[in-house]
Amino acid sequence: MFKKILVPLDGSSFSEEALPHARELALCGDAEIILARVDEPYEPPPGAFVVATAIPEAVQLTAGEYLEQIVSRLQLAGLKASSAVLDGKVPDALLKFAKSEGVDLIVMSTHGRTGLSRLLMGSVAEQVVHGAHCPVLLVRPQMQ
C-alpha cells in the first residue's frame, strides 16, 4: 500500500477537496500525508519598485502557516502529516519533491478546465500526471 501521499495545495477550496481522498487512503495503509505548496518566483511588473527579498519571505511564511493549520487538523484526526513550501515552477517543483521524498502517490484536485481556458492557462495536473514517477489520483471538485 501507499506509505507517502503528496497533496499539493494552492490555498483554494478547490485544491483542498483532494484532502478527504488522501485522508481515506492514508488511513487504509497507515501512510503519511505530505502537504505541499509551491510559490512561483515573484516577477514584479516592469517599472515597479519592489524590495525583492521581502516578498518571497512573506509569502513563504503565509504558505507555511496555511499548511501547518491543515497538518494540525490531520494530526488531531490521528494521521501522520507534514508539510513543505517549495519554490519554482509548480509542476517541476512538485515532481522533483515527490521523487526526492519517495512519494508513492500524488492526490490533487484539477479545476477541470477545457477548451480555450485550458489552452491558455495550461494544466498543472496534466503536467504532473505525465511527469510523475508514481500514480496520480486526480479529484475533480464539486461545483459550488
What domains lie within the chain, and their CATH numbers? 4-139 (3.40.50.620)
**Tens digits of residue pLDDT in 37-85:** 998 776 666 776 665 555 555 555 588 999 999 999 999 999 999 999 9
Say if residue 10's pLDDT is above 50: yes
Q: pTM of this prediction?
A: 0.83
Q: How far apart are CA 73 and CA 76, in angstroms?
A: 5
**Which single residue is written with the C-alpha cell 519517495?**
102
- Environment class of 54 (CB within 10 Å of its CB; exposed 0-12, middle 13-18, buried 19+): exposed
